[in-house]
Structure 1
Amino acid sequence: MQIQKSFATTDQGTLFLVPTPIGNLDDMTMRSIKTLQEADLIAAEDTRNTGKLLAYFNIETPQISFHEHNTQQRIPELLAKLAAGVSIAQVSDAGLPSISDPGKELVKAAVAAGIAVVPLPGANAGLTALIASGISPQPFYFYGFLPRKNKELNSVLQQLAQRLETVILYESPHHLQRTLTDLAGAFGADRNICLGRELTKLHESFERGTIGELIDWYNEHDPRGEYVLIVSGRVAKQIDSSKLTTVDIVAKVDTAIAQGNKPNAAIKSVAQELQMPRQEIYRIYHEL
């Protein structure tokens, strides 16, 4: 077990995780600006993109590139700097580091090395779209970008379609129409969805309806900008659990496992569906 205070009391540096605006630069927090100004170094996903942000706020802190293609090369270098007392602010191009962006590998390595990691709150596209979607915001399940390979994509969609929580996805304009078609096949064309487009930017918009209605809309309109997809969760059918045998319940858990869920997650899902105590489903499934 590891217990770590946010700010190191040694001569080591600190890794700050700094969110950046997802569109509107005025969404930058005062704390984020101050942290970027006071850090010794900024590890940026794209130094050119971050350079524009730094120029806007007159921040002169030097940058070093840190992105998905140089992660393994950079981590030892950044850890050495942190160990030597250099404070590093890590940023992605937009939003929170590590959320569908680089960052998690550096955080994991810093934690393992006993280096203090300090997260700053700020802009996040998924939650921004969720609270304006008109779809139930709690509970929700964040997935991000879907896989591109068909086999993996189909497996993920089958699992997501069974979730009772609202699902949050990210998508580019180039893949939006195909993704909507794939969602219709897995979730059903009548599932409610909200598309948040170009959030916080000049052409921000929210398109709400069923998946089928949004497919029809984009058959006549070209997708433009970056999208967040908020998809309503599956509505659980009311089942009279008193009429189910233990064999029926075990079969339901086995089906959930076959769909890619781990046993405990499958038991929890079946318990929610049947509105029965999870411990009872656990006992039946494991024949306790």
Structure 2
Amino acid sequence: MTRNTDDDGIVVLGHPRSGTTLLRRLINLHPNISSPPETHLLSACARFLDADMTADGVDMGVLAGLDFSGFSESDVLKELRQFSFGFLQRIAERKGKARWAEKTAFDIFHLKNIEKLCEDHVYYVAIVRHPLDVAVSCTEFCTSMGTYPSTLHEYIKRYPQPIEAFAMSWLETTKALMDLGRKRSSRFIMVRYEDIIEDENEIMNSVFQFVDEEHGCDQAQSIFNSIPEIGFSDHKSLQEKSIHKKSIDRWRSLPSPQVKRLGELLNPLLAELGYDEIENTGEIGTTAARRRYATSLALHAAKTNETDDDTKD
């Protein structure tokens, strides 16, 4: 692949809670690449390009509006690209680095317009993680924030169970990512979070090789020993002291009926991504579910009574 130094930017993509922050920080270790905390530049540009469609098929938005005033779509996209890429390049230069990498977790929900903006002018580095681990982590993230970010709230409105909502969010965005990979194959690489956890050196070597750089970052532990940059980021990951496996397979504690329902929807894409399919946990009827619920309440009440008795003694 011929390298064009004007098209050296890197866009990191993945569903929130898929390891995008870890990947960003590992990329930022490279002596030639700057990957700052989330700037929200690309998603803002994507919203700038949004348009409502009339019944007659007219796109009521900035591209059509400027077209009527004599500015072609390609001209508008070029100027918007120069605007957003320019900020990222200046950030990199301030750090003494030649290239930039942008990661904002919620960019994945604006993928269509981000691709329209970036086309083949960037490298796309995507990361995926097991969808049910993503769903568990997203649920905890939203609980800690005390809110659902607007892009995730759209799924909460459609699916009342948060785990189901976030699993479906993962399903839709990951399919879109894979479509992007097929369309921009020479500019796209996808890695798995679990593989980074297993051997970050091997995976990052493949990432840097793909973006035409020497590896140059064998010391991943240094991201945990340095003071993090101030900015929007996953604060939970900033509290970690090392790369570990504690966040893998947390989904196995989810209720089996819920896992079964979601497995039927997720398994085809899981298999395509190289994950084990979710096993059929067996059908649980409403009668059995009620008995299980009643038994759980009885056990909880018994433990509460034992605690009260111990307190009195």
Asked if Structure 1 and Structure 2 have the same fold, meaning a TM-score greater than 0.5 normalized by the shorter chain, the answer is: no
Q: Which of the two has greater helix per residue?
A: 2
Q: Which of the two has greater strand per residue?
A: 1
Q: Which structure's relative contact order is higher, taking Cα pairs within 8 Å and 6+ residues apart?
A: 2
TM-score between both structures, scaled by the size of structure 2: 0.28
TM-score between both structures, scaled by the size of structure 1: 0.30
